[in-house]
Amino acid sequence: MAKNILITGGNSGIGYATAVLAKSRNYDVTICGRDTERVASAAEKLGVRSVVADMSDPGQIKALAAYFNNDGLDGLVNNAAMAKFMSIKDHTLDDFDDFFNVNVRGPLLLIQALIPALAKRKGSISNISSAITNNGLPNASLYAASKGAVDSFSRSLAVELAADGIRVNCISPGAIDTPIITKLGLSPEQIGEIKAHHEASIPLRRYGLADEVAHVILSQLEASYVTGSVWSVDGGVDAQ
């Protein structure tokens, strides 16, 4: 039987690249995303199954997990996340809720709902956090806090779910060239400045590619004696 994998936010960037690679390795791939058209069009291009599920919606997360009740699940990539740059001076209560509902509560609820399916196949989870958790960036405190939570809950779940045969790890990408940068609420000039600043401060002096992260995600999912770890994919940023 082919191994199966669920990738949240699989219609774009790192999630899409992971779906491409997993498909090429004969995984049975399901992607999910929040927008019906974007998810369906990505799934058609990829030739994989798609499910629409907004990670801020507990009901949709439960329905997504139910697809795997019977057959079980080998791999879960908790990749979907929101990112927006904003000063703490402008944070509203809704902003706190939005960041934590999508980036923290969503993946936790999905893992909770998938425990029986993952236990059935001794499955493995890769949660996508961010190099930002160790590297301060102005106007990114809510995003950084939500990603720090992902690192933290992953370590605890690794210990807790080991008894069910489920491994839990994190991937911590640095600056990766994906559409996320266009969703931050920045002008093209600001994006240019950020990219130039990043490239100068990355030891490898370039942005990473989504495909380079995808290779590490699949290696992590398949690394049978690895749990509770955070793997940096950041061109050397964390080592500085």
Ligand X SMILES: NC(=O)c1ccc[n+]([C@@H]2O[C@H](COP(=O)([O-])OP(=O)(O)OC[C@H]3O[C@@H](n4cnc5c(N)ncnc54)[C@H](OP(=O)(O)O)[C@@H]3O)[C@@H](O)[C@H]2O)c1
Catalytic amino acids?
A: 143
* Contacts of the segment 23-27: beta carbons below 8 A, 24+ positions apart: 23/47, 23/48, 25/218, 26/2, 27/2, 27/3, 27/74, 27/75
Interface with ligand X includes 102 (CB under 6 A)?
yes
- Residue 62 class from Cβ within 10 Å (0-12 exposed, 13-18 middle, 19+ buried)? middle
Letters for 191-230 (x = contact with ligand X by CB under 6 A, - = none) are ----------------------------------------
Interface with ligand X includes 91 (CB under 6 A)?
no
Q: Cα separation of 70 and 113, whole Å?
A: 13
Q: What residue has token string 């210990």?
A: 159
Q: 165, 179, 185, 203: which one contacts ligand X (CB under 6 A)?
A: 179
Nearer to ligand X, 25 or 183 (CB): 183
Interface with ligand X includes 83 (CB under 6 A)?
yes
Interface with ligand X includes 14 (CB under 6 A)?
yes
Taking a C-beta distance cutoff of 8 angstroms, is the pair 150, 193 a contact?
no
Taking a C-beta distance cutoff of 8 angstroms, is the pair 164, 119 a contact?
yes
Q: What residue has token string 């380079």?
A: 212
Question: Which of 73-81, 117-125, 134-142, 219-227 is the region at the interface with ligand X (rule: CB under 6 A)?
Answer: 73-81
Nearer to ligand X, 30 or 56 (CB): 56
List interacting residues with ligand X (CB under 6 A): 8-9, 11-15, 33-35, 38, 54-56, 79-83, 102, 128, 130, 173, 175-176, 178-180, 183
